[in-house]
Amino acid sequence: MILFPAIDLKDGQCVRLKLGNMEQATVYNPDPAAQARAFEDQGFEWLHVVDLNGAFAGESVNGAAVDAILKATKNPVQLGGGIRTLDHIESWLSRGLSRVILGTVAVRDPALVIEACKRFPGQVAVGIDAKGGKVAVEGWAEASELGVIELAQRFEGAGVAAIIYTDIDRDGILTGINWASTLELAAAVSIPVIASGGLASIEDIKRMLEPDAKKLEGAISGRALYDGRIDPAEALALIKAARG
């Protein structure tokens, strides 16, 4: 089980949004590379990065900030937001990224995701962002009629490394992870699932470690870490103890 600290990038800064609204961005650190180092120093093993501007633009916008993060930390980094082509994927992986997250393109062009998994085994994740049980695309700005499980099952056997499942209705507002829908998804596919959206307290960490959540790869935490609602040492100690 892995706790992924999140760095969301908007205009080169580390921010958090509420409910995916770009107009409701709180700047937590103007220096994302420094934030990446801080998370590594606290003992985290991975880093989850999202190029928010890129998610809306359909191409990398905060590339310089991501490059700085990659230079600043030894931890593996996964990146989502605006990665829509095989060239984008190859470019990022060649620059030191450990895993790319494909969201909108997984809906628009699932064949590209399958091809990416063949070319870059173990380095391609699918991001499924849902609102009201339906998948949202284009930086959460557009809703589709596609169900979460329906989309996830399209990639069974394709070699997808993980599914990052975000409940938009809970993102950034500290109401707790939507465990019902997250565990339903995890039970429906063999692909490891990473929970995102709403992680609020150490109780969510404990819930993540219960037996019925064993199919989860982990969870992503943003605002709860930045606001001090979760103590990194306590959370990481619980996870370490659960690993035995």
Q: Which of 8, 51, 171, 204 is catalytic?
A: 8
Q: Active-site residue 129, yes or no?
A: yes
Nearest-CA neighbor of 158 among 200, 199, 111, 205? Answer: 111
- Rounded to 5 degrees, φ, ψ at 118 are -70, -40
- Which of 74, 128, 123 is closest to 105 using CA atoms? 128
Sequence-separated (6 or more) residues with CB below 8 Å from residue 244: none
Cβ atoms 213, 181 nearer than 8 A: no
Are the beta carbons of 135 and 107 closer than 8 angstroms?
Answer: yes
Q: How far apart are CA 125 and CA 123, in angstroms?
A: 7
Active-site residue (options: 129, 167, 171, 204):
129
The whole-angstrom separation of Cα 218 and Cα 177 is: 12
Catalytic residue positions, numbered:
8, 129
